[in-house]
Amino acid sequence: MYRLWRTSNTLPMLRLQARTQNKTSIIECPESFSETATFKFQKLISEWDGEDWCQLFSILSGMDVDQVRESKDGKLEAMFYQCISFVFTEKIDFEKLPLPETLSINSKIIPIPRDLGRLSIGQAIQARKSIEGVKDTRECLSIITAIYLQPLLDNAKYDHLRAIEVEQEILLMPITSIFPIGFFFLRQLRPSGNMLQIALDRVTREIKETLRKLLKLIN
């Protein structure tokens, strides 16, 4: 038996209550991309074939795909279509979403910098490593965003292990909030190597400025 209602959580969504002889389980499913957690979106990119609706529902709800396929419950079927319909009907161009001014992580408001020259070589290298071997770079939006923002969140130097921890928070955030930040960063990681070059250019300028000051002192 299945019952459906909406939550009032940070990401409001449909909740499905599945009752069997042994237990009652709660399944949450978004009704729009603004309710879709980043980890679910990335899973759609990496795992969904674009055709299997049961697989789509499984990714969105977390319900076992075989359990979905084998169910004969009419109420679940009605909820099934209600839960997946937005993927086909909601027209959204993610690449045109505006870059936000700020992002809140763990109750801290972080300004989103537009100047990628502030990125360290370590950040640029780790960002490039994170997209190596993936078929679609959108699978990496969460870690790219974490690499981008970790020093700002902690007001400290870049720490890759810490960035991985920050990613766990980002994975739970709405994809409509994370996509424009990650995409902004990813655009600099195209084959031209812009981001790494920006970081290298900045270091070169700093070295030249240091040498200039030293020469001035010597003279």
pLDDT (tens digit per residue) in 57-79: 999 988 889 988 888 877 777 77
pLDDT (tens digit per residue) in 73-114: 777 777 788 889 999 999 899 999 999 999 999 899 999 988
> If we measure between CA atoms, which residue out of 71, 75, 84 comes closest to residue 30?
84
Task: Look up residue 156 and give its DSSP letter.
Answer: S
- Angle (deg, nearest 10), helices 141-154 and 121-131: 160
pLDDT (tens digit per residue) in 132-143: 888 899 999 999
Indicate the burial class of 2 (C-beta count within 10 angstroms; 0-12, 13-18, 19 or more).
Answer: middle
pTM of the model: 0.78
C-alpha dihedral, 194 to 196 to 202 to 207, nearest 10°: -140
d(CA 136, CA 165): 23
